[in-house]
Amino acid sequence: MTTAVHETKAGQEVTYLEAISQALDEEMTRDERVFLMGEDIGPYGGAFRITEGFQKKYGEWRVLDTPLAESGFVGAAIGAAMMGMRPVVEMQFADFISCAFDQITEVAAKNHYRWGAAVPLVIRAPFGGGVHGGPFHSECPEGWFFHSPGLKLVAPSTPYDAKGLLKAAIRDPNPVIYFEHKFLYRRLKAVLPVEDYIVPIGKADVKRPGTDISVITYGAMVHLALEAAAVMAKEGIEMEVLDLRTLIPLDREMIFESVRKTSKAIILHEDNKTGGIGAEISALLAEDCFDSLDGPVIRIAAPDTPVPFSTPLEEFFLPKTSDIVAAARKLAAY
């Protein structure tokens, strides 16, 4: 059993995973109302070791191991939130969030609308493929909740955003689903500010400025978009990479500003294509930016199947840098 919470010194690089752990640790220290719930998050430290050492530091009443009953412990967390606590619930894998769908969409999302109740709940949802987890451990379920008024959805793509968005989510009075991409956990590193900071919910971020094509994306796909932008720059095409960071509420102003500047748009996400967030953004561009478009809005997403377990099939299933480059060349020539 490990006993140390993830700690780093000033100027030291941290991974995406460690940034999440730091945010939890700092918020638990700052606000005694913050507590954690989830499967195996206590002595074991969670499936991905994000809460390693937390139970020894904060005690069993603030780091609660739960039964394998997502509907039950999410319901308990909603009740605690309504009584003034600030629970952070961990879904071991985002796929399992479906077991708590009723509690999230019918209780947490609607309570403020029905009677003005604050529900300061955060649900951490490790999502996405690229780790060979198969159809039950690799899903991108953000589209399910995109249609549920009352929820906020965030999906950071960098260690800086991962820490800042989680701290903002914990301090928010609304229920927030925090989608953290498993593929990024140990693949990204950054030096984070020593001082306390948040990343505001509802604000997108231009990860690479450009003038010719806008790529609107989030999560792990941001890094594929940046790779494709580097390839296209060698061909004289400057692609702007817009990281949504927040899926609800969408930063429509930044989306429209980018597309009105470049006149061409690619929408990229890892979730299945049909009915995904890209479809809504495409509709928004058709309604509000039609006069600015010089080509069709192109969506790049996964096929409408479950995530394959087979490594070659998963690689085929997931969007690739080459897909973005091919779409960009098509748009550039349009």
Report the catalytic residues.
137
With tokens 């998050």, the residue in question is: 41
| DSSP annotation of 190 | E
Single out the residue of 244, 236, 250, 237 nearest to residue 268, CA to CA. Answer: 244
Helix (H) or strand (E) holding 165: helix 159-171
Burial grade of 312 (CB within 10 A; 0-12, 13-18, 19 or more): exposed
Distances (CA, A) of 252 to 39, 94, 123, 255: 36, 26, 24, 5
The angle that helices 159-171 and 16-30 make with each other, rounded to 10 degrees, is 30
